[in-house]
Structure 1
């Protein structure tokens, strides 16, 4: 098959690499320009560099336009394969290739369509995450499933751990999906849209700790915002403090959410949970933090006296 690839960052890079290793002909790579967005500077292996190193013509676009559509009509691809393409692809692009567009998305669709699916899934305590290859239709991440693979989420996994394990699924999933499409198969699995969920891009405010959340949820937020992602943060005595490592307290503590309360183990307990005033909530044990100047410290060296509050604002 003659294949065009739409993709960006490491996800697109892994997809293009799999296509280059396949028996199919890659006739064009389409990618986005580099971005200064905090989340788009992470895992930013260049699709353009890989394509050009293999002699594949490359087009850089923020979104599909009429010029690109004319180029695709001239190329007449059998299939477009997309991964981490960040803008809407119009229906005329989807209808152009003989086999349509195969989209690769790093969630177990129909759940976690949209952006940052691994982070949202970890925050929400999902037991597994994965990668889905599906045939694109006019609705975002909603087309019939061709191949889907899952991996378990461990109790101490970070988003960084899950990224490395899911990105390794891309090549075998793309290879299997292309083989199925080339064989003439079309009996794909429709998504159960009653189980669909769609999430927005992560922004700075999404990492700002809300101390009315249960400690279990905040602990997952800390793991979800692991390096190199922007860390979960809070404010203490007017300054931002990034939380690098935390756990749920052994004991139950009562009081006002955000209170710097007591030492436990190697860390400091912060009262957490909407029900904390009833004395029914575990606290969050902050173990390691990063100050605004980039210094990593044990929490006991920052919270040296008990009392005071952590808050969402300076």
Structure 2
């Protein structure tokens, strides 16, 4: 089949490589310009460079809504469009243009975690598995009928980076396998149960600011979710930002006020956590490694030389 691809960053790069290695013909690629957004500078293998290396024409757009793009798409005459990590809305006149429709590849197990940063949100929420969905695009973002889904387990110490690498391996195969099903003439796709749908926004600074009213279990997952190369979860100590690089749920239970720098447990320093920490039934967050406002990384036991005082969510 003739396949036009809309894609961006490493997800799009991996998908395009799979298409180039397949039996399909790629007459045109559409991608976004490079971005300064913190999360879009991560995993930023260039779709444009890969396409140009293989002699495939490339158009760069923030939004696919101009007449020149429509003319190029009609000239390319795709049988199907594949979209991977396209960051803005694709209008019906584009996704309905090919006779076999548009196949979107999304890194969650839809209908849950539609939208942005699904791996980070899923890890924070304690999901037991994550995955990739190939679905037919319709008028609602990430809501079309499901062609294929593939899942991988979330391990007890997995970070978002671990999950990225696990799910990235699924992108090429699920794209090629989904196209094979479309080429076979099948249309009996699985409709999404919209009662189970959830839609998440792009992450920003407010989403990584630690709230010590959260239970320690949730905070530990937040730290793993915001691992390198993502921006680190942070708090404030004595008016200065303090990034939390590694942490665990404490062995003991600690009572008091959320955010209290309380107790050295092994090589970690325990911070009281949870809105009901006053009951003394909660575990704390055992911080293992931090980064100071001036960029120094050091073990928590070296940074917190005395107990007492508080970590806060504002300077």
> Deviations for 1:238-272, whole angstroms, at most 9, x for unmatched residues?
11111111000111100000000010011000000
TM-score (norm 1): 0.99
The alpha-carbon deviation at position 294 of structure 1 amounts to 2.1
Match of 1:26 in 2: 26
**Structure 2 residue 32 is the aligned partner of structure 1 residue 45:** no
Match of 1:128 in 2: 129
**Structure 2 residue 2 is the aligned partner of structure 1 residue 14:** no
> Deviations for 1:211-263, whole angstroms, at most 9, x for unmatched residues?
00000000000000000000000000111111111000111100000000010
> Deviations for 1:260-300, whole angstroms, at most 9, x for unmatched residues?
00100110000000110111111000000111222210001
Match of 1:81 in 2: 82
The alpha-carbon deviation at position 75 of structure 1 amounts to 1.7
**Structure 2 residue 165 is the aligned partner of structure 1 residue 164:** yes
Q: Look up the SS of the partner of 2:244 in the other structure.
A: strand
What is the rounded CA distance, in whole Å, between the counterparts of 1:294 and 1:176 in structure 2? 45
What is the rounded CA distance, in whole Å, between the counterparts of 2:281 and 2:266 in structure 1? 20
> Deviations for 1:31-51, whole angstroms, at most 9, x for unmatched residues?
000000000000000000000
Match of 1:140 in 2: 141
Match of 1:101 in 2: 102
**Structure 2 residue 275 is the aligned partner of structure 1 residue 274:** yes
TM-score (norm 2): 0.99
Match of 1:295 in 2: 296
The alpha-carbon deviation at position 204 of structure 1 amounts to 1.0
What is the rounded CA distance, in whole Å, between the counterparts of 1:296 and 1:109 in structure 2? 38
Q: Look up the SS of the partner of 1:48 in the other structure.
A: helix
- For the aligned residues, what is the CA RMSD? 0.6
**Structure 2 residue 1 is the aligned partner of structure 1 residue 5:** no
What is the rounded CA distance, in whole Å, between the counterparts of 2:292 and 2:262 in structure 1? 20
What is the rounded CA distance, in whole Å, between the counterparts of 2:188 and 2:296 in structure 1? 55
Structure 1 regions of 5+ residues with no counterpart? none
